[in-house]
């Protein structure tokens, strides 16, 4: 498996409660926060731990420790020995997020707890600010078990058989842990280690018994310890240990193709839809599906119409896990392009016959349509934006459907500002609490990134987001909407004119609150160049905001030697950006015109149309991607 990340990443644990739905409530008094979920209660105070109760009976405490050698001195630090400041980040519709933070012993510590009706998740961040590298570093997730109320811990072995260990004697395992167990059940709480293993960590220490016997710095009580390490124990000064995706695998489809788009449905199936050139006058849409996280694929031809070029598909998933596909169909006889939509009402579609007959949803007549965007919102309303060539109009097809039945209305809206939605235009629609808020992003021929904003009643005059250095570079935009914000990333030429392989392009980033007037430039954040190398030639931006509080940007990069690494930019919760390369350039095509288009897709958090409230479900932190080599590669970071 390919586990490539240049920075030091740590997933301490994902803690999932049993999958029963209980209302979540919060009580706060100063630094004390009490979260109640059915019979379970979680409490935090001014220390770096969380106490767990069941029916008012204390079960234990969750905490975190770090061991390493810093400036030649062995150190063992416990999160509960520091004074912490806890705050509620959000509390909306049975979704609660709390944050604990401290600056202690030269380390900046943060804990995030996410609660919903069905699950909770824990994330821990540590930044080394000691001024020295830490070597032989190990990270420990410590559970201090109440000696009276908890006698045994259940676990599942690698044969998926239930086992248990009790506390009559100490148990210590220091190697090959994945051969013994996959997860531990502590009362109603599941500690799943497979995510650590899949992310490239060495799960190299498990202790169950009297904690003080494991280390003199730990409490004199029963419990268990989970230990992980990475990078051979090196934790450099200035590095940040952070919950973040890493690549665990890639797989290739058998088709040479273009226009790749990607989706994962709620059953875990991965869909890749792409166009393939069949003949000089015909290209078809193909659908590939994987039921096993990309290990194997089935592919079928969705469209097969001679003398038509069917291009630029967009896809999304409806509430029944049906795949919705929108694409251009260009008539080679008259050159006109129309917008078509088809859908499969269930997630088990394995053949073109299971899709409805495609429907022409555009009203361009004899005028060419320009491909825009597709999205299916949480209310199963599909919306498509597209434009008529050489006009300043953007059309929106707002269509409700259930089980594949379509109907709806068509609206015309004025973009204004002289912006023309051409074939390279992109758009995003974000809905917050049922109110329409829309953005249309347009790439013009003068190096400008234009954005037109819909305030819920009217389209505002388009504004220019970037400050181009010259008029030769055509920007490529990425966009996302999440948690009440619009995010835009785009390419901007850096330096003098030159061939595509020689002229560097950098990635820029801006954001605007959905509640602000985004037709006012001052309501957007400052233009930020997130590219690490000024000569980096990034293009084909794709953007994603995950519920791990990070913002992710993927881009392809070409240099004069025509390589094309896939770069992964991440904005951390503290506002800093990191970068890594997740695909080696010697694997990729060097055709800059159509190939490198890395796409991120996660049903819950990203798409052309999203619910922008903070009440989205908390769960998936995986990130799918697809890019083109001589084949299509996909992975599940």
Contact by Cβ (8 Å): 217, 225: no
**Neighbouring-strand partners of residue 585:** none
Cβ burial of 564 (10 Å; 0-12, 13-18, 19+) is: buried
Short-list 271, 9, 214, CA closest to 126: 9
Question: In this structure, is residue 9 part of a structural domain?
Answer: no
| Residue that the structure tokens 């997730």 belong to | 141
Contact by Cβ (8 Å): 179, 158: yes
Question: In this structure, is residue 50 part of a structural domain?
Answer: yes
Question: In this structure, is residue 128 part of a structural domain?
Answer: yes
Distance CA 576, CA 573 (A): 8
Lowest mean pLDDT among 1-15, 208-222, 241-255, 413-427: 1-15
CATH of the domain at 144: 2.70.98
CB atoms within 10 A of CB 589: 17
Q: What is the mean pLDDT of residues 111-124?
A: 69
Question: In this structure, is residue 381 part of a structural domain?
Answer: no
Distance CA 520, CA 464 (A): 10
Distance CA 454, CA 437 (A): 6
CB atoms within 10 A of CB 180: 12
Q: What is the mean pLDDT of residues 353-359?
A: 79
Inform me whether the pLDDT recorded for 427 exceeds 50: no
Which residues, 6 or more positions from 253, have their beta carbon under 8 angstroms from its beta carbon? 272, 288, 297, 299, 631, 632, 634
Contact by Cβ (8 Å): 539, 531: no
pLDDT digits (tens, 9 = 90+) for 386-402: 666 655 555 666 665 54
Question: In this structure, is residue 487 part of a structural domain?
Answer: no
Q: What is the mean pLDDT of residues 197-206?
A: 69
Integer-rounded Cα radius of gyration of the chain: 26
Query: What was the pLDDT predicted at 6?
Result: 20
**Neighbouring-strand partners of residue 482:** 485
User: In Å, how far are 83, 156, 488, 540 from 552, measured between CA atoms?
Assistant: 32, 34, 11, 14
Question: In this structure, is residue 230 part of a structural domain?
Answer: yes
Distance CA 357, CA 341 (A): 9
pLDDT digits (tens, 9 = 90+) for 108-117: 888 877 776 6
Alpha carbons within 13 A on the beta-carbon side of 586: 0
Query: What was the pLDDT predicted at 496?
Result: 53
Beta strands 426-432 and 609-611 are parallel
What range does the domain containing 98 cover?
14-241
Distance CA 561, CA 533 (A): 16
Question: In this structure, is residue 63 part of a structural domain?
Answer: yes
Query: What was the pLDDT predicted at 135?
Result: 93
511 vs 430, higher pLDDT: 511
Contact by Cβ (8 Å): 599, 261: yes
Domain count, the chain: 1
Beta strands 408-414 and 564-571 are unpaired
Question: In this structure, is residue 440 part of a structural domain?
Answer: no
420-434: buried (b, 16+ CB within 10 Å) or exposed (e) per residue?
Answer: bbbbbbbbbbbbbee
Query: What was the pLDDT predicted at 423?
Result: 33
Band (pLDDT 50/70/90 cuts) for residue 70 is very high
DSSP character string of 541-579? EEEEE-TTS-EEEEEEEE-TT--EEEEEEEE-TTS-EEE
Query: What was the pLDDT predicted at 529?
Result: 83
| Residue that the structure tokens 């989970």 belong to | 226
């Amino acid at each position: 498996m390919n586990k490539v990340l240049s920075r030091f990443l740590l997933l301490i644990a994902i803690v999932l409660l049993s999958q029963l739905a209980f209302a979540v409530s919060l009580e706060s008094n100063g630094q004390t926060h009490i979260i109640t979920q059915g019979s379970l209660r979680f409490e935090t105070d001014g220390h770096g731990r969380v106490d767990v109760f069941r029916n008012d009976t204390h079960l234990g405490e969750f905490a975190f420790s770090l061991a390493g050698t810093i400036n030649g001195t062995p150190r063992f630090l416990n999160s509960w020995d520091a004074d912490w400041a806890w705050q509620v980040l959000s509390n909306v519709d049975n979704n609660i997020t709390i944050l604990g933070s401290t600056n202690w012993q030269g380390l900046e510590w943060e804990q995030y707890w996410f609660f919903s009706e069905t699950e909770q998740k824990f994330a821990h961040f540590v930044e080394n600010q000691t001024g020295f590298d830490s070597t032989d570093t190990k990270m420990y997730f410590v559970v201090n078990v109440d000696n009276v109320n908890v006698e045994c811990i259940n676990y599942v072995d690698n044969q998926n058989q239930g086992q248990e260990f009790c506390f009559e004697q100490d148990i210590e395992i220091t190697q090959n842990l994945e051969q013994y167990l996959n997860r531990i059940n502590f009362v109603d709480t599941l500690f799943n280690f497979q995510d650590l293993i899949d992310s490239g960590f060495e799960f190299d220490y498990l202790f169950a018994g009297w904690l003080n016997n494991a280390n003199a710095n730990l409490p004199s009580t029963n419990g268990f310890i989970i230990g992980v390490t990475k990078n051979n124990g090196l934790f450099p000064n200035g590095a940040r240990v952070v919950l973040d995706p890493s690549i665990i695998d890639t797989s290739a489809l058998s088709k040479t193709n273009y226009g790749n788009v990607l989706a994962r449905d709620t059953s875990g199936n991965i869909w890749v839809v792409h166009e393939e050139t069949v003949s000089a006058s015909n290209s078809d849409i193909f659908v590939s599906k994987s039921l096993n996280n990309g290990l194997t694929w089935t592919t079928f031809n969705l469209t097969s119409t001679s003398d038509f070029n069917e291009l630029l598909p967009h896809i999304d998933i409806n509430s029944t896990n049906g795949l919705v596909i929108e694409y251009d169909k260009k008539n080679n006889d008259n050159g006109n392009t129309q917008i078509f939509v088809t859908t499969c009402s269930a997630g088990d579609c394995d053949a073109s016959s299971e899709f409805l007959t495609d429907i022409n949803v555009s009203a361009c007549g004899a005028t060419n349509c320009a491909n825009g965007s597709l999205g299916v919102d949480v209310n199963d309303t599909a919306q498509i934006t597209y434009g008529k060539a050489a006009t300043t109009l953007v059309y929106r097809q707002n269509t409700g459907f259930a089980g594949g039945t379509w109907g709806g209305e068509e609206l015309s809206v004025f973009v204004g500002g002289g912006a023309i939605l051409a074939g390279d235009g992109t758009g995003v629609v974000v809905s917050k609490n049922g109110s329409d808020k829309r953005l249309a992003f347009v790439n013009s021929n003068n190096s400008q990134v234009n954005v037109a904003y819909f305030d819920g009643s009217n389209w505002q005059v388009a504004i220019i987001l970037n400050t181009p250095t010259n008029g030769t570079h055509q920007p490529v935009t990425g966009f996302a909407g999440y948690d009440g914000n619009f995010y835009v990333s785009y390419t901007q030429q850096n330096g003098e004119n030159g061939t595509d392989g020689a002229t560097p392009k950098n990635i820029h980033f801006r954001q605007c609150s959905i509640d602000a007037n985004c037709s006012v430039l001052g309501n957007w954040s400052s233009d930020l160049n997130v590219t690490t190398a000024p000569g980096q030639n990034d293009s084909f931006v794709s953007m994603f905001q995950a519920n791990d509080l990070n913002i992710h940007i993927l881009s392809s990069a070409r240099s004069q030697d025509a390589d094309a690494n896939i770069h992964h930019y991440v904005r951390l919760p503290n506002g800093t950006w990191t970068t890594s390369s997740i695909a080696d350039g010697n694997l990729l095509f060097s055709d800059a015109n159509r190939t490198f288009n890395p796409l991120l897709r996660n049903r819950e958090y990203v798409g052309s149309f999203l619910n922008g409230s903070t009440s989205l479900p908390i769960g998936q932190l995986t990130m799918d991607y697809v890019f083109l080599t001589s084949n299509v590669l996909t992975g599940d970071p």
